[in-house]
Amino acid sequence: MTTSTMDRPVKAPTFQGVSARRRGTDLVVKVLVTASVLLALVPLIWVLFTVIQKGFAAITSPTWFTNSLNGLSASASGGGIYHALIGTILQGVVCAVISIPLGLAVAVYLTEYAGESRLGRITTFMVDILSGVPSIVAALFIYALWIATFGFPKSAFAVSLALVLLMVPVVIRSTEEMLRIVPQDLREASFALGVPKWKTIMRIVVPTALPGIITGVMLALARVLGETAPLLILVGYAPFINFDLFNGEMGSLPGVMVAEMNNPTPAGSERIWGAALTLILLIAVLNIVAKLIGHFSRVSK
């Protein structure tokens, strides 16, 4: 009895040469990518290790977060960063209060309403330009407008206005990307049920993209908190606490580092690295809060 040709098992064709070449190429690319990641991590870890090593003694001082540097001589050890931490947080809060609603509104317009209109194209072009504006240019613009033209004094509020120019384009871009990845089917389903467009945006689109929007906002805020140029141009550094945003000098974490650069004593060096580590910790806390808010926003849905 003979076995028909159709009953015989068909042997799959082998492409061992091609497969070996592909595996080799994949291995080479994987090695190169891994090496690039490790190479990029080296300076980051090095910077972080250096800041922690040199600033850990300062932030572990019992007076670091509770005292200011008011009345303390340049060579004297001790004191704290309380005044600068308060100043940085105040400036950041004012900047966020202005930037977040403005950035969200512009992003919603570009995503949901602009389409191919001329105003939409102009807005996109201007956002792209603002994204690349150096911080010193933003500070000089606020100086020329707020101080030289309107006659207001140098103040922490002027610094916040300069930070707004730096934060708004980042908020717009991150929010715009998050809104664009919301499935169009959700919008169409809402429209099919007779829900107005504005309510669809507020109840469907924005809540769906909220975790990503929060993360982008926090990253934008973390980016502007370390800016130094607006502080140097728009407000002086004060080693004491000042809660008045519209008058007088105000301390800040970058301001402490700049002020202590002219202090060659060990105490000055310790304050510089302590302020740097405090700023890194503040930014890390903002990122952690953003991740937690985004996580719980997804879980609640």
Q: What local confidence, expressed as pLDDT, does residue 102 receive?
A: 95
Euclidean distance between CA atoms 120 and 125, whole angstroms? 9
Whether 15 shows a pLDDT value over 50: the answer reads: no
Q: Domains of the chain: which residue ranges?
A: 82-300
Query: What is the pLDDT confidence band of residue 34, given thresholds at 50, 70 and 90?
Result: very high
Q: How confident is the model at residue 300 (pLDDT cuts 50, 70, 90)?
A: low
Percentage of the chain with pLDDT > 70?
92
d(CA 277, CA 65): 12
In this predicted structure, what is the pLDDT of residue 95? 95
Confidence tier at 286 by pLDDT (50, 70, 90): confident
Please report the pLDDT score of residue 301 as a whole number. 57
Alpha-carbon 53 to chain mean position: 25
- pLDDT given at position 223: 84
For the segment 147-198, what is each residue's pLDDT rounded down to a tens digit? 999 999 999 999 999 999 999 999 999 999 999 999 989 888 988 888 898 8
pLDDT at 17: 52
- Cβ–Cβ < 8 Å for 296, 239: no
Residue 11's pLDDT is 56
DSSP assignment of 121-154 equals: HHHHHHHHHHHT--HHHHHHHHIIIIIIIT-PPP
User: Residue 99 in 3-state DSSP?
Assistant: helix
Burial of 44 (0-12, 13-18, 19+ CB in 10 A): exposed
**Tens digits of residue pLDDT in 252-266:** 999 999 888 888 888
Whether the predicted pLDDT of 299 surpasses 70: no
CATH number for the domain running over 82-300 = 1.10.3720.10
**pTM of the predicted structure, to 2 decimals:** 0.84
d(CA 138, CA 158): 11
pLDDT at position 1, please? 47
Give the per-residue pLDDT at 10.
Answer: 55
| CA distances in angstroms from 103 to 48, 110, 124, 212, listed in the order given | 31, 11, 12, 14
Q: Which of 76, 103, 64 is nearest to 214 (CA)?
A: 103
pLDDT at position 4 over 90: no
Tokens standing for residue 180: 């664009």
Residue 9 banded pLDDT, cuts 50, 70, 90: low
Query: How far apart are the C-alpha atoms of 235 and 141, rounded to whole Å?
Result: 14
Mean pLDDT across the stretch 193-210?
89
Tens digit of each residue's pLDDT (9 = 90 or more) over 112-156? 998 888 998 999 999 999 988 999 999 999 999 999 999 999 999
pLDDT at 29: 93
Average of per-residue pLDDT values in the chain = 87
pLDDT at 216 over 90: no
Question: Quick check: 240 and 251 in contact, CB under 8 A?
Answer: yes
Tens digits of residue pLDDT in 45-104:
999 999 999 999 889 988 899 888 887 777 777 788 999 999 999 999 999 999 999 999
pLDDT band at 8; cut points 50, 70, 90? low
